[in-house]
Amino acid sequence: MPTHNENRARPGKPGAGDDNREGLVRLQRFLADAGVASRRHSELLIREGRVKVNGQRVHELPIFITPGEDRIQVDGTVIEGPERLVYIMLNKPSKTLTTVEDEPGAARRTVLDLVDHPSGVRLYPVGRLDYDTRGMLLLTNDGALANQLTHPRYGVEKTYHAVVKGYLAEEALEQLEKGIYLAERREGHTVGAVRASHVKLRIVRRDRERTILEITLKEGRNRQVRRMLAAVGCPVKKLERVAMGPVKLKGLAVGEWRELSRVEVQRLRQAVDKGGKKPGNAAKKKAKTTTKTTKTMTKKPRRTREGGR
């Protein structure tokens, strides 16, 4: 079952850890984000007694409120703040579609059928998990972060546990580490083969009956893990995502969900920032800048007079 915070307006100094609790924001920040005034001017409005929280006039700072739950008024006018950003971790079961809704006429279960958030905000899956794949799936209404977590440029790692039948040989592991060529399809047609980028591998368990392999990759191509293992003769029996970046699947039974903590959201943002600042990305940006500079410098110089004629 999901966990919910029942925070109310908190005048004065927050208690231990209150400022870091998910969902709480400073009142002046809420007013600034809602377009009432700048943060500094919003502080002045509060000190002048022109702001009410749940019908109570407030004067002193700091004050922490929960957007979407607390009722905020300025000079008697109710302030509707920006939609609260929600971050959900779902332990997706197999036989569940990672989509907002199924195709017309079909009635398969989707991930949104499992998540009933009390705020009523419209959530979207971050990336995809195959219909038969289970494990960690993030859902959010933060489109910017969702795009960054799935865009190859940022290189956020996704970690899976794959169960394959039998003993996975060292030769197969070497092939996976070198990179498997996978067919590239566009508009339903095969247009060639593209080599999968480097993956990290770790044997969790291996015996004659089965092998449990941990695979960490930065790409997100269609059914990539299953296709890679099938290419080395080891079709996947079960597949589970156990982590995205630094955030791991924990504390959830299959089919359950919870909100991410503020610390977990911060760690995801840090992973995105780290990926965006990698030397390779910086070098590409620098190369573009250098090219522009070179073109500018190669323009025909103006003639200057050196002495008289």
3-state helix, strand, coil in the chain (%, to 5): 25, 30, 45
Radius of gyration, alpha carbons of the chain: 26
Report how far residue 54's alpha carbon sits from residue 8's, in angstroms, rounded to the nearest whole number.
9
Phi, psi angles (nearest 5°) of residue 37: -170, 175
Answer for the pair 100, 113: CB distance below 8 angstroms, yes or no.
no
162 HSE (CA, 13 A, CB side): 28
Report how far residue 27's alpha carbon sits from residue 206's, in angstroms, rounded to the nearest whole number.
55
DSSP at 32: H
Query: Smallest Cα–Cα separation from 182: which of 148, 139, 231, 219?
Result: 231
For residue 155, the one-letter residue type is G
Cα dihedral 174, 177, 183, 187 in deg (nearest 10): 160
Burial of 17 (0-12, 13-18, 19+ CB in 10 A): exposed
Report how far residue 127's alpha carbon sits from residue 176's, in angstroms, rounded to the nearest whole number.
23
Given 130, 132, 142, 273, the catalytic residue: 130
130 as an active site residue: the answer is: yes
Which three-class secondary structure state does DSSP give residue 51?
strand
* Beta-carbon count within 10 A of 132 CB: 13
Report how far residue 109's alpha carbon sits from residue 95's, in angstroms, rounded to the nearest whole number.
7
Cα separation values, 25 from 14, 152, 267, Å: 11, 32, 19
List the catalytic residues: 130
